[in-house]
Amino acid sequence: MNKSKRAAVIAGNWKMNKTRAEAKALIEELLPLVKDADCSVVVCTPYLDLETAVNATSGSNVKVGAQNCHWAPGGAFTGEIPASMIKEVGAEYVIIGHSERRQYFGETDETVNERTRAALDEGLTVILCCGELLNEREQGIMEEVVGKQLKVALGGVSEEELKNIIIAYEPVWAIGTGVTATADQAEEACAFIRALIAKLYSAEAAEAITIQYGGSMNAKNAAELLSKENVDGGLIGGASLKAPDFAAIVAAASV
Ligand code: PEP
């Protein structure tokens, strides 16, 4: 395996934060701080901020993503947004299967698969989230849980389509809690995921796919986590809401 062959991606998940004015201000503060980044930089904003973010990042090295999309192209799904509308505003990425959607909005491995399918069909790059609960880690079943999540989520996804998928390993016990997985725990899980991709697809696909760690990554711990062979980037929640903190993580991924 050769980490240097893979694209490092640092993506911010703003969750349900930032008005349009705040989104514009945050991006304007961020752009000069990350302009020389040697990794991909993405901000995943609330739907209503997408257009503002696309305009504010125009001509820069920062890309924009959404935090979910529906599986249907349109129709009677009150309150939902299809992948085509995300694409239409100029966003290029979409987070699918975040643990908060699984926990609060009834997301299942099957609906994660359907949303992934819809996003790929629309030409979006998917940041596909997986990760175990605290009790599942304590029971020693991280690999079973993450393995099932990914096998189901990737059902019907071809090796060619896999090039438009980034996997984000996010242990649920580390998200928004301030508790970070140790660099060794992150590496162990990301290595397991890479081996699974080799089994499901091929050694080449496994070598090429970007696997992020997410869960309380911040300016202080990013360098150690990102130094691991199988950790190719980060999905960042809280620390993506402050430009200097997010930029410090981007800098850690750029060395
Ligand atoms: C996330 O929302 O994907 C996340 C990792 O959040 P935090 O960095 O705040 O733990």
Name which residue sits closest to atom 2 of ligand 1, judged by CA: 237
What residue ranges do the domains of the chain occupy? 9-252
Q: Which residues line ligand 1 (CB under 6 A)?
A: 13, 170, 175-176, 214-217, 235-239
Separation of CA 176 and ligand 1 centre (Å):
5
Name which residue sits closest to atom 8 of ligand 1, judged by CA: 237
pLDDT tens digits for range 39-91: 999 999 999 999 999 999 999 999 999 999 999 999 999 999 999 999 999 99
* Total-model pTM: 0.97
Give the pair of three-digit tokens for residue 87: 């694409």
* Backbone CA torsion sign across 120, 190, 212, 237: positive
Alpha helix locations (H) across the chain? 20-34, 50-57, 83-88, 99-104, 109-121, 134-138, 142-153, 159-162, 183-200, 203-208, 222-226, 243-253
Ranges of the chain with pLDDT below 70: 1
Separation of CA 23 and ligand 1 centre (Å):
18
Q: DSSP label at 29?
A: H
Q: Indicate the CATH number of 9-252 among 3.90.1640.10, 1.20.1300.10, 3.20.20.70, 3.50.50.60.
A: 3.20.20.70
Name which residue sits closest to atom 4 of ligand 1, judged by CA: 237
Separation of CA 240 and ligand 1 centre (Å):
9
